[in-house]
Structures are given as structure tokens and as C-alpha cells.
Structure 1
């Protein structure tokens, strides 16, 4: 089905790459110290991977102010250390072989994303990329997706595209932008606590061939 599409959009964290657990645990320990509220392994996993959907909604449910959390979180992240602790999923290699235009739409902030792309040597996989901000909007908002489609030159011209990601927000963004959605499940429904639907549901991109 890879050849069915005229262009591809992809999420980054949890979809193409992941970070060693030791890094995630250390960051949440430091953030917890700042906020005076510790995070269990399960809570850290939920927030890092967005397993329950909106991270802000989850924080509010736990009684944690999202603005305070993200300020502390971004101040405690070290871009170079994170890049060194980030690894590429084996099944992500298919992206390098795509002949169609490829775009990246990620919630990973630019100051973190850029060192990761360089360290893994995958910058040239993407013809356009966007790191979401308050100004661009966040997935499942279609605006950041449509922005990258515009940069790729595939907006409003009848091209058939797909967005692949590991979260429900990726599926929502794809559908809201009129694209097909591929959900890659890196955890399993039991650990996620829910089933994420998509036009395609896979555990590995290898299943697409």
C-alpha cells in the first residue's frame, strides 16, 4: 500500500524514533523536584508518549498545572543529551526509500528536534518539516499538517496523502486534514489503556509491504 500515496507525512517521537528510558526517568525526576510532585514510572510513560491523548488534559486530571509542567520540562531537557539517547526504530528505514514527497509534523520542539535529526542522520529524509507551537497549532488540529502540505506543494491539488503516527492526535490530525491515517502501535492496547483506530493499524511499518 506504500505506492498508493502521492505524499507521506510522519510524526517523529514514538513513530520513527524513541528515547532510552533512563533519560526519560531522569528528566521526570528533575521536573518532579521542581514542581514538588513526583511522577511514577507509569505517569512518566503516559506523559512522554501521550498514551491517554492530550497531555494537558492528563496533567489537569492529576492536578498539575500544564504551563508550570512544560516550563520545567523544557528547561530540564538537554538537547545534546537527548539526541545521544535517541534511537531509530528499525522499521523506520522505509522512509529513506520513499520516492514521494515526505514531511515531518511533530510536537517535539525545534531545539530538541534538530539535534535528533542531525545525530541520527535522518534530516534528508524530509522535504519539509514543522515543529508544532502555540502559533502553528497542535495535532489533531489540521493547521500544522496543512502547512507542511503547502510546503511540499501537495495542498489542494487532488494528491492522495497519508499521515503516520503513534498517537490518537496523529490520526485525528490526518482525518481533520482529509488524509488517510496509519497508527503504529509501539506499546500494545493493554499498556495504552485504549484502542486507537486508523485507516491502517500496524505494530511495525514492515506490515505495510
Structure 2
């Protein structure tokens, strides 16, 4: 199995993998969403949903008797790209992708109106050769379709060995479904996530992967 630097190309998730936001912003967003749907989110619930702890978010919402469609409609009404960007930061261990000597692409569930201001504000857009924000048309991870779209944009060959790294089980699933190695970056700990996510590599951060 190749070590991190030996991959011919890299695909990355964005939120929770390369960048994240300050906790206070998460609480403000969920307070506003809760006002719209008539639900009082606790601090723990907000963090579980924001970071995808405990599995797929829609399943978690249903366990709390929250209609996923109503939640996401309110969530997208509340989230503002400029405010999100103003409270975002880059994980220090992800800064190595500014200088990785290989094609690097992003495939993210973050919508373009949120992702693009973050990339601009943090001055990291030029780290990536292509960025795809998933939609119903592109498909959503673990569907391999958006992954393969990014691979096509990068112009990778069939004989090249690539990897997709992300912080959720859907990232590893998308990698495997597209024939890539999958890296799970567990920034919150398996105990807090409530599960262990399988992967070709399971690491706490990119420093551990590249060590």
C-alpha cells in the first residue's frame, strides 16, 4: 500500500478535512435554524450534525424526529457564505497541500455559495487544480460520479494511483466506489463519532499520514 506522498493524485473533502469553522459560528447557525423549524438544538446536537458525528446526517435528524427536508431548507436559508468564510480556518496539517507535487482536486458537499467564499477568504483556491461542489445533478458521495468527474477534470490516467481523503464514511465509500484508496481523517475521535470508519488509512490528521 503506498504511503501518502506516493500517490499520483489527491482528491480531498473540504469541510472538516481541509477547513473548519469556529464553534461559536456553529451554535449561531443552529440557533437560527431551530427558530425556523421550532426545535431547540443543544450544543452537542449542533456539533453532531455539523461534523457528521454518528453517521449520516439525515438518519440522525430522523432519530430526533426532525424532518430532514425542512431542516436543510432552513439551514440553507440561514447559512451565509461571507459569514461562514469569516469564521473559517485551515487545519495546519492540511497546509502541506499547498506544495504537494501532484494534481489535487476537491469534491465537497459544501455548496458553491459557501465553498467559494471560504476558498477565497483563506487564500487557498490555488492549492487545488479543480473544485467540485456536489449537487443533485453531479451526485453525492458515496456515489462515485462526482469523484470520477473530478478525476476527469484532473486528466488522470487509468494506470495512476489516486486517493480520496475525508472526515466522513461517505468519503471513504466514494473513494472505494470509484476505485481509489480511501483515507479517513478522524479529527474528533472514534468515541465521539460513535463508530470506527474503515479506510485504507485511518489517521488523526495529515501529519500522521505523511509521517
TM-score range, shorter chain: over 0.9
Gaps of 5+ in 1: none
Structure 2 counterpart SS, 1:29: helix
TM-score by length of 1: 0.97
Is 1:55 paired with 2:57? yes
Q: Please tell me whether residue 150 in structure 1 is matched to residue 146 in structure 2.
A: no
CA offsets 1:53-108 (integer angstroms, 9 cap, x no match): 22112112221111111110011011111101000111001111111110000011
CA distance in structure 1 between the partners assigned to 2:194 and 2:59 by the alignment:
16
Match in the other structure for 1:135: 137
- Cα distance in 2 for partners of 1:148, 1:114 equals 16
Distance between the aligned counterparts of 2:144 and 2:169, measured in 1?
13
Tell me the distance in 1 between the aligned counterparts of 2:149 and 2:54: 26
Which of 79, 83, 86 is the matching residue for 1:81? 83
Give the alignment's Cα RMSD to 1 decimal.
1.0
Q: What is the CA-CA distance between 1:52 and the residue it aligns to?
A: 2.0
Secondary structure, counterpart of 2:131 in structure 1:
strand
**1:118-156 deviation line (CA, Å, top 9, x unaligned):** 00000001111100111111111111101100111115x
Paired position in structure 2 for 1:37 = 39
TM-score (norm 2): 0.96
C-alpha deviation, 1:176, in angstroms:
0.6
Gaps of 5+ in 2: none
- Distance in 2, matches of 1:91 and 1:57, equals 31
Q: Which residue of 2 aligns with 1:8?
A: 10
Q: Determine the C-alpha separation between the residues in 1 that align with 2:159 and 2:18.
A: 27
SS at match of 2:159: coil
Q: Equivalent residue of 1:147, what SS?
A: helix
- Tell me the CA shift for residue 3 of structure 1: 2.9
Match of 1:125 among 127, 135, 151: 127
Q: Which residue number in structure 1 is paired with residue 107 of structure 2? A: 105
2:171 is matched with 170
Counterpart of 2:182 in structure 1 is: 181
* Deviation of the 1:160 alpha carbon: 0.5
Q: For each residue in 1:152-177, what CA deviation from the matched residue of structure 2 results, as whole angstroms up to 9, or x when unmatched?
A: 1115x221100011111111110111
